[in-house]
Structure 1
Amino acid sequence: MSQITGAGYGMGGCRLDLEIGAGLAPGPAAKRLRAVLTDLGIEECATVNVSD
């Protein structure tokens, strides 16, 4: 299972921390996240950082 683990916002934008579940590969999960951001119309102004 994946879950939101934190979020915040300020003058420079906003941040959403999303933990990808152990059974999910990061690549396909990031691809799905980009699709959701595109559907929302915000992918052009979003930055996705992937880390362990």
Structure 2
Amino acid sequence: MKNGKKLTVSQRQHLQSLALDPNDWLLSKKTNVEWVIVERSSGKAQVIPAP
């Protein structure tokens, strides 16, 4: 799995709209359809829809 990257302001706003705390997540993969985010503490991945 790729290393997660810090979120931009617009990405943080999208995570907040999905009721996720942006401080706990890193962006691993970004496509037009979905994003793969990784939790900072545990390293578990989650797939969310792209805006």
**TM-score, with structure 2 as normaliser:** 0.30
Q: Which has the larger strand fraction?
A: 2
Larger Rg: 1
**TM-score, with structure 1 as normaliser:** 0.30
Structure with bigger RCO (C-alpha 8 Å, 6+ apart): 2
